[in-house]
Structure 1
Amino acid sequence: MTQIFGTQVGRTDGAGFAIDRRGLLAAGGAAGLLGGLMPFAAAKAARAGGTLAMTINPEPNAMVSAFNTASPVAVISAKMTEGLLHYDFDLNAHPALATGWEMAEDGLSIRFDLRPGVKWHDGVDFTSADVAYSILQILRKHHPRGKSVFAKVTDVETPDALTAILRLSEPAPALMYALSGWESPIVPKHIYDGTDVLTNPANNAPVGTGPFKFVAWERGSHIILEANRDYWGSAAPVLDRLVVRIITDPSARVAAFEAGELHLGGDGPIPVSEVKRFTESPKFQVETRGTELNNSLDVVELNLRNEILAKPEVRQALMHALNRDLMMQVVYYGLAEQLTGPIPQSLPHLYTADVPAYPYDPDRARALLDAAGHAAGSDGMRFGLRLIAPAIGDTYDRAAQFMRQQFKAVGIDLELVSADVPTFIRSVYGEYDFDLSMFPASVTADPTIGSQRFYWSKAIAQGTPFVNASGYSSPEMDMLLEAAAVEPDPARRRQFFIEFQQRAMADLPILPLARPIYVTVASADVENFVVGPEGVRASYGSLAFA
């Protein structure tokens, strides 16, 4: 076997780590911290103790991200559950629940050495049986992204309590990017085995190995987590308690920050119109890093079961009807990257701009609609569509209004529906009751993990959230995605993803809009709130007051 990673590292001094890296994780653009580890760039000195109030929006509908990849779920889950690895600014892997690992020369097995002395929050020992159970019975079956990420895992062998060996049917280069705590949390076998895992009470009151323990969830109000004083290693959580407040109104969040009632919030907790003012205020810190491992994109998915949207000319017309240059300014206030396709520029090793393009051209949009057989009526309108978006902030409201105006100019009447997250998930993924769906789609650190599920026909699974809901099915696209998922050669894999981007923009089951630059806001006296690419999805063992 070839040693890829695996220098065993302790947690005695809180410093960074020097891990052998030989090319498997050759991506760029982020910073990493998980499992309560101190940041790689040197954490600031902090005082111990205290209760910190942070906010997430919308309220999560569960607390374990093994079953639900919605951002608020990932944020809360990662404080209590952990993964095998965590990642640094260059997306190099570092130890978390695994202290070392090695991959076979043929790429068909990965051996993980597990951290000794780790206990679940209920006092039971963490072992390799938990890893095997989590991957085979939870992540591979129930995680929206895990179904593709772990698709090549045929077995997890456990020769002893601190060794787990993943056996693969084919190489899976993306898998090593997907082992962080918020993405692929390890859950306790003794809590889940023999139960209906989807309704297990631990989904809403997690039992993890992380630096914080679950205390209470007052729905609509707050979530309380307390420090895990039995946390493995020497660097126990700095805070005593973390209170996560649910404040749905953006203006109320601004007021709470200004009144000192909130200390921290990520994923754009304040309106983008307020970002400049907060940035200039000495009372606050505003950070734009911390979403690189997530790479959330704002997209519009089209329901191709609708006979109107099934016509390629109509989908192309929708793109030509949108002035996306203007959209970046009036909707995102400049805090966004305009997308050219399903892979953002923040993944430069895979990105290409050489794709079919649809510049703003209302006349071209009208001509395409005419060609599709949708002539304008006496009132100038051709047909109506319904756009549904989750009620997760004012940006989506502005985006929906903007699209309504733009589409009206070419004769399309757009009805707008804003739904709470459970209703959105039920309508889009459970009932396919939508025409257009705007939502944040996470590419993560690798398109096989994040993008594939939206374009792969085998990901269509009614009732599973944040997968292919459009009904898009293309044998050519399936072939590209499946080839990229198992190709170990970086150059060949890049070519597969270039062709993926080109086909995605030719077929247009999804209209790519923007990669928002989400800010994290913290009070001036908060330390270590963005220490890696996870941002607020980090475990926050080092989060503290100055």
Structure 2
Amino acid sequence: MTNFKRWRMGVLLSFMSTWALASGHAAEPRHGGTLTVIAQPEPVILTAALSTSSPTGFFSGNVFDGLIEYDREFGLKPGLAVKWGLSEDGKILTLNLREGVLWHDGEPFTAADVKWTLENVWQKYHPRNQALFANVERVETPDDHTVVIHFSKPSLAILSSLNSNGAQVLPRHLYEGTDILNNPYNNKPVGTGPFVFKEWSKGNHIVLERNPHYWDEGKPYLDRVIYRVIPDAGARTAAIEKGEVQYAFFSPVPARDAERLSKLPTIQLETKGYEWLSPWLFLDLNVEREHFKDVRVRQAIYHAIDREAYKRVVWFGFGKPAISPVVSTLATFHDASVPQYPYDPAKAEQLLDEAGLKRGADGTRLRIHLDYLPYGEEFRRSAEFFKQALKRVGIEAEIRTQDTPTYTRRIYGDRDFDVTVQWYSGFADPLVGVTREYNSDGIGKNIPFTNGPGYRNEKVDQLIAQAQSSGNQDERIQLFHAFQQQVQKDVPSLPVLELEFFTLHAADLNDTVTSVDQIYASFKNAWYTDPSKR
């Protein structure tokens, strides 16, 4: 069996889904109409090649195409690459690119764009791809439509992340020789995708229009996509209910409102299209703080959290208590035998006592700050839930609220925090989305959504490096099991919940889910039953 086939088998086993294929539509797709989408929180940057934040991701996939697309069962489909092949030893990946594709400014898309982006963006700035493409020795472009990537060691995880979000290609002619991180096209993006960027009125809206020269003939069907910034949860609920917004994702309204809205004949609730993400929510503990250097304190906090109650109270049942950063739906890689920390306040108190954090006269052992990712009401309510959980064992937490830029700078730049509520996507392979949380190479680089705790463990770094370079999938599975055992023993980060996001959309909007990574893909297949009404 070739390495490519082993990789495919591993992915399929990891992501076997219970969904049934949606029944076909009686009518053919129709052109026309404007789709209004909620963008909350508002993206900080519009180019996913330089940011892995979810607000950037769910916008950017409409402007940029991926080299490869995924179907509804994790199969690979042509995108900007029409063919691909991995050598038997896993060290050479050949991509045959689609001919006749144009950037939105009319310049041709070529292999030079892929080579330049890999060498100058993915390897240098992308939080996940720095590790994913670390073993690249050289990139050859024998012609304008062929890319040959040579690896010093096998990199089996690559094919799990060549979509628009995982490996977004930038136009070399607009970036080469510039300050990449401050290039103005980061916020007025030029892609090859189904929609063309037109306007970003910060704090209000982002406007995209149909690409008339799109390579996928006849698509997209929609004329326009407008992203509206609606910070207030109540206002989002009202906008969806009134039909002012036709699409809203990443659990856009309080879960208690979602059930009511989904019962209306004009609205549908969908939980598909997030499978590629493998998301989990966790608490990061800053292990550079003196009190969190003691593993007993970290374990005590884990024992203080009732994960079942948290799922029920904050997320209204959407999700599953987590025991590892590799979520259970990643069945091939998930290790259910990791050290466990069940809800046990008495055990938490015992560990805190043993660590020398005795209750004071007022019953308080420790005072900390508790920050949370400002991505919506559930994260604020999460902070409140964890504050009460910690208070019961004598830890007083002061909740801090801030916008996204301030939050990311505080956690990953200034490292001025004690505990934070965060979530990441694990994606189709732990190397793509999980190991960034624990690899010490990411500390101190001010790269958002990497190693927040500041955790350093030489054994863990070695396990990650071995999994990154192994050409044997069975060996990689064992390495990731050992990785989970170690990080769940050290618990610098506390996995709390395997997230289950939902989408709300207008009932007359069709084909909103055509892939397992739909949430980061495009609306090129979406269409209205009667576009004249939209």
Picking from 346, 365, 376, the partner of 1:393 is: 376
- Whether the 8 Å contact between 1:27 and 1:91 is mirrored in structure 2 is no
Aligned to 1:161: 144
The corresponding residue for 2:30 is 47
Q: Among 398, 415, 419, which residue is 2:398 paired with? A: 415
Aligned residue for 1:456? 439
Q: Do residues 211 (structure 1) and 194 (structure 2) align?
A: yes
Displacement of 1:315 = 0.2
Partner of 2:15: 29
Q: Where does residue 532 of structure 2 map in the other structure?
A: none
Q: Distance in 1 between matches of 2:31 and 2:526?
A: 10
Structure 1 residues 467, 21: closer, same or farther in 2, change over 3 A?
closer
SS at match of 2:353: helix
The percentage of counterpart residues that share the same residue type is 37
Secondary structure class of the residue paired with 1:142: coil
Gaps of 5+ in 2: 530-534
- 1:102 maps onto 2:88 in alignment: no
Query: What corresponds to 1:17 in structure 2?
Result: none
- Aligned match for 1:489, one of 462, 472, 475: 472
**Per-residue deviation at 1:459?**
2.0
Tell me if the contact between 1:211 and 1:237 (Cα under 8 Å) persists in the aligned partners: yes
Aligned-partner Cα distance in 2 for 1:530–1:233: 17
- Structure 1 distance, partners of 2:363, 2:121, is 52
Q: Which of residues 68, 82, 85 is equivalent to 1:85?
A: 68
Residues 238, 310 of structure 1: alpha-carbon distance in 2 compared, 3 angstrom cutoff: same
Q: Corresponding residue for 1:175? A: 158
Under a length normalisation based on structure 1, what TM-score does the superposition of the two structures give? 0.93
From 277, 280, 287, the equivalent of 2:260 is: 277
1:433-466 deviation digits (Å, cap 9, x = unpaired): 0001111111111110101111011122431111
CA contact (8 A) 1:25 1:93 kept: no
Deviation at 1:129, TM superposition (A): 0.2
User: How far off its partner does 1:226 sit?
Assistant: 0.2
Q: How does 1:109-120 map to 2 (within 5 A)?
A: 109-120=92-103
CA distance in 1, matches of 2:11, 2:87: 16
CA contact (8 A) 2:262 2:269 kept: yes
- The whole-number CA distance in structure 1 between the counterparts of 2:325 and 2:2 is 34
Determine if contact 1:62/1:204 at 8 Å carries over to the other structure.
yes
Q: CA deviation at 1:27?
A: 4.3
Output the CA distance in 2 between the equivalents of 1:347 and 1:58. Answer: 28
What is the CA–CA distance in structure 2 between the aligned matches of 1:486 and 1:89, rounded to whole Å?
Answer: 29
Q: 2:498 aligns with which of 503, 507, 515?
A: 515
Preserved CA contact (<8 Å) 1:30 1:88: no
Alignment of 1:133-532 (within 5 A): 133-532=116-515
What secondary structure, in the 3-state scheme, does the structure 2 residue paired with 1:331 have?
helix
Q: 1:169 to 1:42 in 2, by over 3 A?
A: farther
Distance 1:255 1:305 in 2: 44
Structure 1: distance between partners of 2:117 and 2:238: 41
Structure 2 CA distance for partners of 1:381 and 1:488, relative to 1, 3 Å: same
Q: 1:375 to 1:495 in 2, by over 3 A?
A: same
Once the two structures are TM-superposed, the CA of residue 29 in structure 1 deviates from its matched residue by 3.0
In the alignment, the residues of structure 2 paired with residue 137 and residue 41 of structure 1 have an alpha-carbon distance, to the nearest angstrom, of 44
Q: Indicate the larger mover: 78-87 or 274-283.
A: 274-283
Mapped to 1, the partners of 2:521 and 2:41 lie a distance apart of 18
Aligned-residue Cα RMSD (Å) equals 1.9
In structure 2, C-alpha distance between the alignment counterparts of 1:72 and 1:140, rounded to whole Å: 22
> How far off its partner does 1:100 sit?
0.4
- Quick check: 2:241–2:261 contact (8 Å CA) kept in 1? no
Unpaired stretches in structure 1, ≥5 consecutive residues? 6-19, 32-38
What amino acid sits opposite 1:58 in the alignment? P
TM-superposed CA distance for 1:22, in Å, is 5.9
**Post-superposition shift, 1:90?**
2.8
Please state how far the C-alpha of 1:182 moved relative to its aligned partner.
1.7
Change (3 A) 1:166 1:367: same
1:217 maps to amino acid: W
Which region of structure 1 is more displaced relative to structure 2, 119-128 or 522-531? Answer: 522-531
Normalised by the length of structure 2, the TM-score is 0.95
Structure 2: distance between partners of 1:30 and 1:123: 41
Which residue is 1:9 aligned to?
none
Aligned counterparts of 2:70 and 2:16: Cα–Cα separation in 1: 8
Residue 237 of structure 1 and its aligned partner are, at CA, apart by 0.9
Quote how far apart the aligned CAs of 1:4 are: 4.9
Q: What amino acid is aligned across from residue 248 of structure 2 in structure 1?
A: G
How big is each residue's C-alpha offset from its partner over 1:224-244, in whole Å with a ceiling of 9 and x where there is no partner? 000000001323210110001
Q: Deviations over 1:164-199 (max 9, x none)?
A: 001101001111101001221111100100100111
1:96-127 deviations in whole A, cap 9, x for unaligned?
00000111111111111000000000001110
Alpha-carbon shift at residue 69 of structure 1 (Å): 0.5
Residue 70 (structure 1) aligned with residue 53 (structure 2):
yes
What amino acid is the match of 1:478? D
Spell out, residue by residue over 1:377-415, the C-alpha distance to the aligned partner (whole angstroms, 9 max, x if none).
111110111111122111111111111111111110011
Once the two structures are overlaid, the 10-residue window that deviates more, 298-307 or 270-279, is 270-279
Where 2:140 maps in the other structure, the secondary structure is strand
Alpha-carbon distance in structure 2 between the residues aligned to 1:275 and 1:326: 19
Amino acid at match of 2:331: P
Distance 1:42 1:445 in 2: 28
- SS state at 1:419 partner: coil
CA gap of 1:30–1:63, structure 2 versus 1, over 3 A, is farther
8 Å CA contact retained: 2:382, 2:421: no
Task: Report the 3-state secondary structure (helix = DSSP H, G, I; strand = E; otherwise coil) of the residue aligned with 2:315.
Answer: coil
Q: Deviations 1:49-90 (Å, cap 9, x if unpaired)?
A: 111101121000110000000001011111001121011233
